[in-house]
Amino acid sequence: MAEALLGFVLENLSSLLQNEFSIIFGIKSKVEKLSTTLDLIKAVLEDAEQKQVTDGSIKPTEGINPKNLIFRRDIGNRLKEITRRFDDLADSKNKFLLREGITITESSTEVPEWRQTSSFIAEPKVFGRQDDQDKIVEFLLTQARDSDSLSIYPIVGLGGVGKTTLTQLVYNDVRVTGNFNTKIWVCVSEVFSVKRILCSIIESITSEKCDSLHLDAIQLKAQDLLQGKRYFLVLDDVWNKTQELESGLSQEKWNKLKSVLFCGSRGSSILVSTRDEDVAEIVRTCQTYHLSGLPEN
């Protein structure tokens, strides 16, 4: 009876560990160790059950269940080790600032430092992106410059393919610098916060901290600073709002931001880098630029 009950618990707990911990925390090796330990405990119970027939010392004694004191001590020690390993999991969770049942929301708008990008090119020399750079610059200096409305040009590519690097190259191109009155770089990442993006624009132009707590005041300030200027805005690493990521870009958020940004002079442009086609569909006013991997040479 005890073995059957524990077997049921172990089976379900092992399944939970495999499906949840390994996915959420990405610590497959620790899950495997826990599963192994659980299997060992089950094996000990089964072995003790079989030995009841031949070994009197293993047979249950009156008032003691299961088995005997030595067996209980063995199981207790193994469970203590499992508890220690679960504590290790909890420590790992705290280390990475993870919380149970909590998804990223717009209330936590700060981009983690390891995900932050800037307009500065980290590499002393970049190879294989000159053609991509020239095509985007040409668009900004011709089609976008002649447009009466705001041009929004998305760059879509897989994670790690070099979208941010290409965007940095375009942003720092002397041809682009000479074409715009103002340039602004904003790293968006997972949390698409209209308020934070507008504050970043204000701080970039004025070099002053955006202290206002009211969205209306921030919108008016940003619009006043961009009014009548041919500006170039980069929104780097934009994520789409999904069931798993509630804080990403949505059509509603984009409309709210776009209503403020439609105030620049003719030729104003926005470059949006993203790995999501859905983001490009929401923001674009022209054809998406798909960035592929580097050629073999």
Take residue 276 and report the two structure tokens written for it.
């999501």
Q: How many CA atoms lie within 13 A of 109 on its CB side?
A: 15
Is residue 160 domain-shared with residue 272, that is, in the same domain? yes
Confidence of residue 296 (pLDDT cuts 50, 70, 90): confident
Is residue 146 domain-shared with residue 54, that is, in the same domain? no
Report pLDDT for 23.
Answer: 44
Is residue 239 domain-shared with residue 146, that is, in the same domain? yes
The tally of domains found in the chain comes to: 2
Residue 166 within any structural domain of the chain: yes
Is residue 272 domain-shared with residue 144, that is, in the same domain? yes
**Which pairs count as long-range contacts for 101-105, CB under 8 Å and 24+ apart, including other chains?**
103/244, 103/245, 103/246, 103/247, 104/190, 104/191, 104/245, 104/246, 104/247, 105/191, 105/246, 105/247
The whole domain housing 181 covers 113-290
Is residue 90 domain-shared with residue 123, that is, in the same domain? no
Is the model more confident about 93 or about 87?
Answer: 87
Residue 277 within any structural domain of the chain: yes
Residue 107 within any structural domain of the chain: no
Cα 4 to the center of its chain, rounded Å: 42
Is residue 91 domain-shared with residue 138, that is, in the same domain? no
Is residue 28 domain-shared with residue 156, that is, in the same domain? no
Is residue 139 domain-shared with residue 257, that is, in the same domain? yes
CATH of residue 230: 3.40.50.300
Residue 136 within any structural domain of the chain: yes
Is residue 76 domain-shared with residue 124, that is, in the same domain? no
Residue 295 within any structural domain of the chain: no
Q: What DSSP character marks residue 48?
A: H
Is residue 90 domain-shared with residue 126, that is, in the same domain? no
Residue 102 within any structural domain of the chain: no
Report pLDDT for 109.
Answer: 64
- Write the CA distances from 132 to 151, 163, 169, 277, 286, integer angstroms: 18, 10, 10, 19, 16
Is residue 228 domain-shared with residue 87, that is, in the same domain? no
Residue 254 within any structural domain of the chain: yes
Residue 270: is its pLDDT beyond 90? Answer: yes
Task: Give the mean pLDDT of 232-257.
Answer: 92
**Which residues, 6+ apart, have CB-to-CB distance to 180 below 8 Å?**
230, 231, 232, 267, 268, 269
pLDDT tens for residues 19-47?
444 444 444 555 555 566 566 666 655 66
pTM recorded for the entire structure: 0.65
Confidence of residue 295 (pLDDT cuts 50, 70, 90): confident
Weakest mean pLDDT among 122-131, 148-157, 178-187, 196-205: 122-131
pLDDT tens for residues 210-236?
988 899 999 999 999 999 999 999 999
- Write the CA distances from 21 to 7, 12, 32, integer angstroms: 20, 13, 11
Residue 163 within any structural domain of the chain: yes
Is residue 90 domain-shared with residue 135, that is, in the same domain? no
Weakest mean pLDDT among 14-28, 59-73, 124-138, 189-203: 14-28
